[in-house]
Chains A and B, each alone.
Chain A
């Protein structure tokens, strides 16, 4: 599904990702773990080209999704981001109603019919396990929701444009344990329909939710394999030191 081949990324002079290659299968959950500044978020952001906005970024190598290199010059970034959705670290709903938040993406991409939008909003909110909590309040401001609800709203907003891939950049780091648990359950359910990549600082979370885990250190991908292997029987000494809490 997603095939990353010898990817190098530079912020100006700084070599942020060093020769990363990995294959992420369809409808699986991959976790990126590693200490701060190891490049895991940077790698996540290469998958929907959010790094394009930083002017000093230079990228070498290929990222192929369904056989198409997304760094080809003729690739339309807007359509790529429709296929590869993203959820950010801080819940970042728009200062609009719950309905308008979810309908934002479909409207951007040209859906105008009210009935169609209604269906998308309901389906997305159901898929994000938020519908039952907000179905009576769709016209109310998204800012009235709790942090955990806001984050699920952001997931619903990302689902509303019908993506294939969902990128999550530390989606629970700003949330309390109960909200975190709900999001983790939700991620498990979403796996049935979407390919999910999640960056996390929380190793228990990586262990709980992901199928495979990649460990990064100083821009290098140290180890990538089944999550169980990474946590119980890592090959590299550095991985073992990190997952057993000896540094990081």
Chain B
């Protein structure tokens, strides 16, 4: 009896250890791959990062090439896309979560928004091409790109904002309504302040996904070679992932290194946005 118990315990211990190692191994697959990727890119590209890299436009000669047009293109895209998606997305989420009655129509809209979040980005590019570039005749311009990006990010932000609103406990709403507040006062003063950290984090994370999108911008017509910074909503533009893509496609070794340098800059922008998301979350959670 005793012997049997001992054996059983050892078997259990062993299977626990095996599973422990297995899970660790799965985790390592992701981390090691990312590590190798980062090391390779940094080794390849870091030598090309200098002040010139940011002040020069792209060129036929790798040593004269820089990321200026793409950097400002991406910056402008984000500056237009961020407020548009935030305002429209949060308003939609508030409508669906706080005002809309639970009818078949609102359920239909909700299901569709969740589905839209999973539509491939190139489809949004085609949509942008049809609507903004051709129908609205905005041309292959910065504003067409930004509006297409807005459509692309919108479903993700709506879903994230709705989850944050849902997480606000109902007793908070009841407390406000029982004091004679109307629904809008309740949303503005009680629901939104509680939901804001989640909404902001969701928004920034989905924008940081958009910053790396290439396909929709290519379809909408971002140029791969541009030697100026966009100076109006209607000027031609390019963006970081497109510049990187076009450099990476060149046969010369040094353009490959330029592409790696571009990736480093893009990664730093991404990290910066995620850092902002984390800081906003911590700030709101403390207060």
Contact = CB atoms under 8 A, between A and B. Distances in A.
Interface of A: 48, 50, 53, 55, 78-82, 85-86, 88, 90, 92-95, 104-105, 108-109, 154, 157-158, 161
Contact of A105 (B101, B171, B172, B180): B180
Contacts, number: 59
A82 B175 contact: no
Q: How large is the interface on B (under 10, 10 to 19, 20 to 34, 35 or more residues)?
A: 10 to 19
A157 B179 contact: yes
A30 B102 CA distance: 37
Given A78-B180, A105-B179, A108-B181, A94 B172 contact: yes
A161 B174 contact: no
B227 interface: no
A92 B179 contact: no
A80 B181 CA distance: 11
A112 to B, nearest CB: 14
Contact of A95 (B101, B102, B194): B194
B177 interface: yes
Interface in B143-188: 171-172, 174-182, 185
Contacts of A108: 176, 179-181, 185, 189
Interface of B: 101-102, 171-172, 174-182, 185, 189-190, 193-194
Contacts of B175: 88, 92-94, 154, 157
Contacts of B193: 95
B180 A109 contact: yes
Contacts of B190: 94
B178 A78 contact: no
A82 B182 CA distance: 11
A82 B177 contact: no
B168 to A, nearest CB: 10
Contacts of A86: 178
Contacts of B180: 78-82, 105, 108-109, 161
A90 B181 contact: no
7 contacts: A50-B174, A92-B171, A94-B176, A104-B181, A105-B180, A108-B180, A154-B175
Given A92-B172, A94-B172, A94-B190, A85 B181 contact: no
Secondary structure call for the B interface: helix
A82 B179 contact: yes
Given A105-B181, A158-B179, 16 more contacts: A50-B177, A55-B102, A81-B179, A81-B180, A85-B178, A85-B179, A88-B174, A88-B175, A90-B171, A95-B172, A95-B193, A104-B176, A108-B185, A154-B175, A157-B175, A157-B179
Contacts of A82: 179-180
Nearest to B194: A95
A85 to B, nearest CB: 7
B177 A53 contact: yes
Given A55-B101, A104-B189, A108-B185, A92 B177 contact: no
Contacts of A157: 175, 179
A88 B193 CA distance: 22
Contacts of A81: 177-180
Nearest to A107: B189
A80 B182 CA distance: 12
Q: Which of B102, B174, B193, B194 is the most central at the interface, judged by chain A CB atoms within 10 Å of its CB? A: B174
A197 to B, nearest CB: 14
The 8 closest A-B pairs by CB, nearest first: A82-B180, A81-B180, A86-B178, A105-B179, A92-B171, A78-B180, A108-B181, A92-B175
B179 A88 contact: no
Contacts of A161: 179-180
Nearest to B186: A108
A109 B185 CA distance: 10
